[in-house]
C-alpha cells in the first residue's frame, strides 16, 4: 500500500495537528516510522484541561519534547514540532508556509462530549476552538498550500442514531419523483458532536467553492493504547484516559475492572456505536493520506470496524476479567446524557476496507492485554475520577470552577 516512493522522489510531508493527543501521537509516530516527513502542531491545551480538572491519564506520559527526542534517539528520525494554537491564524499560516505539507491531518480539537456540556463557557470554548480552528486550516490551505490534502477527524456521532441505515456521508433520496444524492442528515447529541457537524459543513463548502481536497473521517469510539511505535520505549507511551470526562467506554471499563470498580453502564445500556482499535486509527489515516481526495472533492469515510452496545462491552469485559481472576460487577448509572438507550443501529463502513484496511477486531486476546495493561498501572488510578458528574440537562450559564 502506502507510504514512501521507492523511486527516489521526495518523501511526503504530513502535518499532524493535535499530535500530542491520544490518536495524534500514535499517528505521528506511525507515519514517521513509514518514512513520511512529519511535523506535530499542538497547543498542549489538552494537558492544561487535565490540570484544570484535576484528572490524569492512567499512563505516565513524557513531555512532547522528550517524546520527540526519544523517538529520534531510537530511530534516527526527526519530527518537527510547532507549539501553538491553530485558532491563531498568524501562527498557523507561518507553520504551514515553513513546513510545506502535502497533507494536513487535523486531530486538534476539544474532543470530549461531557467537557462541552460542563457549563456555557466550555460549550462556547468547544465550538469556538473547533470551528474556528478548522476554518483557519481551510483558509491557510487555500492561501498557502492549495494542493494540500486535508484529512479531518470527524465523528460517527454526527449522524446520531436514526431509525434507518447510516451511509458513508451521502444518501440518495427520491422525493416527489426527483432524485438527488445529498449529505446524510446530521443529529448530533452534544455541543462537542455538533462542532463536528459545523466543521463538516464548512469543509464541504470550501471544497466546492475553492477546489480544496478533503477527507472527513467519521471515526467511531477508539479503544486500546499500544501501537508498534509507542511500545518501543516507555517515554513513547500514549495517554490512556479513564475519567468521567475524557475516558471513553471500553477503555474506561477495562480500568474499572482492573481496580474492582463496577462497570458504569449509563441507563439501559442499549446505546450502540461503532468502535475501532487505535492500531486501526493509524492505519486508516495512512490509507487516507496515501490515496488523496481529488481537487474539489469532499470525501467522507466512516472509520470504525465493529458495532457494540454498552451492554455488549460490559459483558465482554466481565468475561475477560473472569478469566484473569477478577470479579467484575456492573451498575446501572442514571444516564447523565440525553440519548436513545434502545435503538436501531446499522452503519456502513466499507470505503476504508476497499482501500486496504485490515482491521484488528476486538478479540479475547486484545481484551486480555488491555486488562493486563490496566492492572499494570492500577496504582495510578484515582477512583474519584470514575463516576460521571456532567449532566446534559443540568448544564448552566454559571462557570463551574470546581468540577467534582
Ligand atoms: P486528545 O484530546 O487526546 O488530543 C487532541 C489534541 O489536540 C491535544 O493534544 C490538544 O492539545 C490538541 N488541540 C486541541 N485544540 C487545539 C488547538 N486549537 N490548536 C492546537 N492544538 C489543539 O483527543 P483524541 O482522542 O486524540 O482525538 C483526536 C481527534 O479524533 C479529535 O478531533 C476527536 O474528535 C477525534 N476522535 C476521537 C475519538 C476517540 O475515541 N478518542 C473518536 C472519534 C473521533
Ligand atoms: N457510556 C456508558 N458508560 C461509560 C461511558 C460511556 O454507558 O462509562 C456510553 C455513553 O452514554 C455513550 C457511549 O457509551 O452512549 C459512548 O460514550 P463515550 O464516552 O465512549 O464516547 P463519546 O462521548 O461518543 O465520544 C467519544 C470521543 C469523541 C468521539 C466519539 C465517537 O470522546 O471524541 O467523537 O467517541 S462517536 O461515539 O462515534 O461519536
Report residue 1's pLDDT band, with 50, 70 and 90 as the boundaries: very low
**DSSP-assigned states of every residue in 256-269:** HHHHTPPEEEETTS
Q: What percent of the chain has pLDDT over 90?
A: 96
CA distance 207 to 98: 24
Q: Exposed (0-12), middle (13-18) or buried (19+): which is 304, by Cβ within 10 Å?
A: buried
The set of protein residues with a Cβ atom below 6 angstroms from ligand 1 is 18, 20-24, 42-46, 85-87, 107-111, 129, 133, 153, 155, 219, 221-222, 248
Report residue 6's pLDDT band, with 50, 70 and 90 as the boundaries: low
Contact 14, 101 (CB under 8 A): yes
* φ and ψ of 292, to 5 deg: -65, 155
Report residue 9's pLDDT band, with 50, 70 and 90 as the boundaries: confident
Query: How is residue 293 annotated by DSSP?
Result: P
* φ and ψ of 105, to 5 deg: -105, 120
What per-residue confidence (pLDDT) applies to 7? 61
Strand partners for 298: 214
* pLDDT per residue as tens digits for the range 382-400: 999 999 999 999 999 999 9
CA distance 384 to 261: 11
* pLDDT per residue as tens digits for the range 310-320: 999 999 999 99
CA distance 297 to 204: 8
Instruction: Look at the block and give the residue holding cell 474556528.
Output: 132
Q: Kindly give the distance from the C-alpha atom of residue 232 to the centroid of ligand 2, in angstroms, as a whole number.
A: 29
Mean pLDDT of 187-213: 98
Mean pLDDT of 131-152: 98
> Where is 205: in which H helix or E strand?
helix 191-210
CA distance 37 to 102: 10
Report residue 381's pLDDT band, with 50, 70 and 90 as the boundaries: very high
CA distance 232 to 129: 33
Q: Exposed (0-12), middle (13-18) or buried (19+): which is 23, by Cβ within 10 Å?
A: buried
Q: Kindly give the distance from the C-alpha atom of residue 341 to the centroid of ligand 1, in angstroms, as a whole number.
A: 26
What per-residue confidence (pLDDT) applies to 8? 62
CA distance 292 to 151: 9
Ligand 2 site, residue 220, Cβ cutoff 6 A:
yes
CA distance 42 to 109: 10
CA neighbor of 269 nearest in space, from 331, 316, 311, 317 = 311
Report residue 11's pLDDT band, with 50, 70 and 90 as the boundaries: confident
How remote is the C-alpha of 379 from its chain's centroid? 27
Query: How is residue 130 annotated by DSSP?
Result: I
What per-residue confidence (pLDDT) applies to 134? 99
Q: What is the mean pLDDT of the chain?
A: 97
Q: Ligand 2: which residue has its CA nearest to atom 1? A: 249
Q: Kindly give the distance from the C-alpha atom of residue 95 to the centroid of ligand 2, in angstroms, as a whole number.
A: 33
The SS3 assignment for 68 reads: helix
Strand partners for 221: 275
* φ and ψ of 252, to 5 deg: -60, -45
Report residue 401's pLDDT band, with 50, 70 and 90 as the boundaries: confident
State the complex-level ipTM: 0.99
The SS3 assignment for 32 reads: helix
What per-residue confidence (pLDDT) applies to 404? 63
What per-residue confidence (pLDDT) applies to 3? 46
Q: Measured in Å, how far apart are the chain's first and last C-alpha atoms?
A: 48
Radius of gyration in angstroms for the set of CA atoms belonging to the chain, rounded to a whole number = 21
* pLDDT per residue as tens digits for the range 221-266: 999 999 999 999 999 999 999 999 999 999 999 999 999 999 999 9
* pLDDT per residue as tens digits for the range 67-111: 999 999 999 999 999 999 999 999 999 999 999 999 999 999 999
Active-site residues, by number, are 155, 192, 196
Q: What percent of the chain has pLDDT over 70?
A: 98
Q: How many helices (H) and strands (E) does the chain have?
A: 13, 14
4 pLDDT more than 80 = no
Q: Kindly give the distance from the C-alpha atom of residue 17 to the centroid of ligand 1, in angstroms, as a whole number.
A: 9
CA distance 66 to 57: 17
Region of 116 on the Ramachandran plot (φ > 0 left; ψ -120 to 50 alpha; else beta): alpha
Higher pLDDT among residues 8 and 49, named by residue: 49
Q: Which of 219, 221, 347, 385 to mutate to test the pocket of ligand 2 (most atoms within 8 A of CB)?
A: 221
Ligand 2 site, residue 266, Cβ cutoff 6 A:
yes
Q: Which of 159, 249, 393 to mutate to test the pocket of ligand 2 (most atoms within 8 A of CB)?
A: 249
Amino acid at each position: 500500500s502506502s507510504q514512501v516512493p521507492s523511486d527516489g522522489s521526495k518523501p511526503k510531508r504530513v502535518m499532524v495537528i493535535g499530535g500530542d493527543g491520544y490518536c495524534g501521537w500514535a499517528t505521528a509516530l506511525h507515519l514517521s516510522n513509514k518514512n513520511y516527513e512529519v511535523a506535530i502542531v499542538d497547543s498542549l491545551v489538552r494537558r492544561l484541561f487535565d490540570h484544570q480538572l484535576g484528572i490524569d491519564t492512567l499512563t505516565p506520559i513524557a513531555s512532547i519534547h522528550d517524546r520527540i527526542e526519544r523517538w529520534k534517539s531510537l530511530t534516527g528520525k526527526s519530527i518537527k514540532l510547532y507549539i501553538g494554537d491553530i485558532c491563531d491564524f498568524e501562527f498557523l499560516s507561518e507553520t504551514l508556509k515553513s513546513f510545506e505539507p502535502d497533507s494536513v491531518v487535523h486531530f486538534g480539537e476539544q474532543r470530549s462530549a461531557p467537557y462541552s456540556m460542563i457549563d456555557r463557557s466550555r460549550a462556547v470554548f468547544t465550538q469556538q476552538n473547533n470551528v474556528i480552528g478548522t476554518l483557519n486550516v481551510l483558509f491557510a490551505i487555500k492561501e498557502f498550500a492549495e494542493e494540500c490534502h486535508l484529512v479531518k477527524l470527524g465523528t460517527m456521532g454526527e449522524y446520531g442514531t436514526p431509525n434507518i441505515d447510516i451511509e458513508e456521508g451521502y444518501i440518495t433520496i427520491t422525493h416527489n419523483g426527483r432524485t438527488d444524492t445529498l449529505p446524510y442528515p446530521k443529529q448530533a447529541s452534544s455541543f462537542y458532536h455538533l462542532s463536528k457537524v459545523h466543521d463538516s459543513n464548512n469543509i464541504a463548502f470550501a471544497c466546492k467553492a475553492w477546489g480544496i481536497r478533503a477527507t472527513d473521517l467519521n471515526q467511531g469510539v477508539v479503544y486500546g493504547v499500544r501501537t508498534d511505535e509507542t511500545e518501543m520505549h516507555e517515554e513513547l507511551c500514549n495517554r490512556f484516559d479513564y475519567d468521567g470526562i475524557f475516558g471513553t467506554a471500553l477503555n474506561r471499563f477495562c480500568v474499572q475492572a482492573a481496580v474492582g470498580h463496577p462497570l458504569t453502564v449509563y441507563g439501559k445500556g442499549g446505546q450502540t456505536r461503532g468502535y475501532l482499535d487505535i492500531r486501526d486509527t493509524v492505519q486508516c489515516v495512512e490509507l487516507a493520506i496515501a490515496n488523496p481526495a481529488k481537487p474539489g472533492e469532499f470525501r467522507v469515510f466512516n472509520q470504525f470496524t465493529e458495532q457494540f452496545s454498552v451492554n455488549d462491552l460490559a459483558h465482554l469485559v466481565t468475561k475477560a476479567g473472569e478469566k484473569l481472576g477478577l470479579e467484575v460487577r456492573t451498575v446501572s448509572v442514571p444516564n447523565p446524557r440525553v440519548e436513545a438507550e434502545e435503538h436501531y443501529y446499522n452503519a456502513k463502513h466499507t470505503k476504508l476496507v476497499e482501500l486496504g484496511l485490515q482491521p484488528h477486531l476486538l478479540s479475547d486476546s486484545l481484551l486480555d492485554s488491555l486488562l493486563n495493561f490496566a492492572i499494570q498501572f492500577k496504582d495510578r488510578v484515582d477512583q474519584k475520577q470514575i463516576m460521571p458528574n456532567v449532566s446534559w440537562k443540568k448544564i448552566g450559564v454559571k462557570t463551574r470552577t470546581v468540577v467534582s
